[in-house]
Structure 1
């Protein structure tokens, strides 16, 4: 492979914003909920690079042929790998593709085929485009992908803030994360937060049923959260993270009253893996597919503590991303922390965004 931009390349990142920016000079796109991927193609050679610079090529064999047919003979394209279903984007299905067994990958490639959504062009033929403004890169990308067909797509884009605001509301039902805002005169800056992302934020009251120590060993790194279903069963739905060093220490004292005899009648006792647990099975949540050595041991708490957390959206019956602790709610009954309190977003079919 011999391209003006060679792998690996860390993609340009975004910083969170509360609202879409005002004024002229902005380019807006839907924020896709998938695996960030930079595609390098040089003739018959094609590589799918991930955000952490690990190749994704072997996990998405169905995209290799599709991208080879759709992309310019020599070029580098930034985009997102997604799995689209009648119910919207399915991130859980996407995660299942990161598996060491080729037979499993091939089976899932047939059962839940992936799509690639292109949104930037880093190189074309012998030209390195990263130093050129986004407006020029977008025009070249549109020309390069003119007439492209599924499973390869060109992301919708607009410079009209009113349209972007409408997308922010309607596209959530298709499983999209929110809206991206990019400066039309901006150059491509790898691994720098040079763009804006506006995501949905909601709050929910949840049961705090355990915690993990911080990786440094100093204080609490994450709180394990639960919600009750209609039958009263407590389900592990995600975590609250991103505490300051000071807050990590404070949390140790705040949850301490709930540690005594916590495992005796704990609803997640069968998972084991907890401090004092008798069974050597793993804790709530699957092991990390990206870091097999990651410590997922946990400490149980009596499921009596209620917390209000800020979250973006659900993926199935779990929070898609880590939540943010807003406050503890000693006034709330843990039994009242149910799925029923969560917003149910009206579905929006992906084919109305484009022909997926």
Structure 2
């Protein structure tokens, strides 16, 4: 089966309500589509990069799939202190030394939160409404210790309030009549988040006691110019992570400031744009910088995809 690009929700500040809308918890993990052809199972992320070997827990389709073949859409999550952690799941997703996968299975157990089914028993389901796809999903998938079906709630506002109380990422609201559009993104799926997030390019760092202390962040405009959008030093990185970053930047240190909008950074070191990082933040300031940016995790997103909205 050829990997596809999944349907995406749009960001919204208004939570839709009405009989045609349901809400689901927006799990803070990595989007993974499962392709089962009746014999082989393969996993791909939303960028169509293969992740089959990173998650061997999902490669026993007979334990949870009741179909001759299928394509499933969901989110792989890993918990930290009882809550989904993007930083934790990236330990699994970014592993390149596959000999470490077995060890990571013990240290970073994952759960596959399945919320849609696109293909089953030799038939595409894309044109069927969501309410019908959900019924098919319940008929075809058996839950176990790793596999879970994402629960839907009719009280969209209520679910968001519960998510905020428990410091979860947010919700995704979906129109029950919505079909599934490959590579699509429209208002029939809407996400309401506690915070916003984005992927930024690291254009520089600051040092403290010869160790990286904070990151200077940027995104490219349509002309390919890198614009400074803020500095982040707080987040989920450990002291060990900061040491690893300090070592990793050595080959990409440059003399000149890579940002088009010149900034002055005390104890700063400029970097050739190469590293990308997921950042959560409250809002954009009037000066087009990030308010309260927090480092979630380094990612493997290509720098050319880090574009100013």
Three-state SS of the structure 2 residue aligned to 1:156 is: coil
**Residue 300 (structure 2) pairs with residue 321 (structure 1):** no
Please state if 1:93 is matched with 2:69: no
Unaligned runs of 5+ in 2: 197-205, 207-213, 236-241, 243-258, 295-309
The answer to whether 1:124 aligns with 2:120 is yes
Q: Which residue of 2 aligns with 1:295?
A: 274
CA contact (8 A) 1:90 1:175 kept: no
Q: Report the Cα distance in structure 1 between the residues aligned to 2:89 and 2:132, rounded to whole angstroms.
A: 32
RMSD over equivalenced CA pairs, Å: 3.4
TM-score between both structures, scaled by the size of structure 1: 0.61
Output one character per residue of 1:245-274: Cα deviation in whole Å (capped at 9) or x when no partner: xxxxx9826x4xxx2xx44xx3xx5xxxx2
CA distance change for structure 1 residues 144 and 226 in 2, over 3 Å: closer, same or farther? same
Look at both structures and tell me which one has the larger radius of gyration over its CA atoms. 1
Runs of 5+ consecutive residues of structure 1 not aligned to the other structure? 1-5, 229-234, 236-249, 276-282, 284-292, 298-317, 329-336, 340-356
Instruction: Report the number of matched residues.
Output: 248
**Aligned in 2, Cα 1:220/1:37: closer, same or farther, shift over 3 Å?**
same
Does the aligned pair in 1 maintain the 2:43–2:50 contact within 8 Å? yes
The equivalent of 1:196 in structure 2 is 190
Where do residues 224-303 of structure 1 align in structure 2 (5 Å cutoff)?
A: 224-226=231-233, 252=261, 255=263, 259=264, 262-263=265-266, 266=267, 274-275=269-270, 295-296=274-275
1:296 CA drift (Å): 3.8
Compute the TM-score of the two structures, normalised by the length of structure 2.
0.69
Q: 1:155 to 1:326 in 2, by over 3 A?
A: same
State the 1:176 CA deviation: 3.3
Shift of 1:209: 7.4
Aligned in 2, Cα 1:123/1:17: closer, same or farther, shift over 3 Å? same
Which residue does the alignment assign to 2:250? none
1:19 matched to 2:14? The reply is: yes
2:73·2:116 contact (CA, 8 Å) conserved in 1?
yes
Moved over 3 A (4+): 172-176, 207-217
Deviation string for 1:104-148 (max 9, x for gaps)? 222111211111011111111122111111111011111222x52
Q: How big is each residue's C-alpha offset from its partner over 1:288-312, in whole Å with a ceiling of 9 and x where there is no partner?
A: xxxxx96249xxxxxxxxxxxxxxx
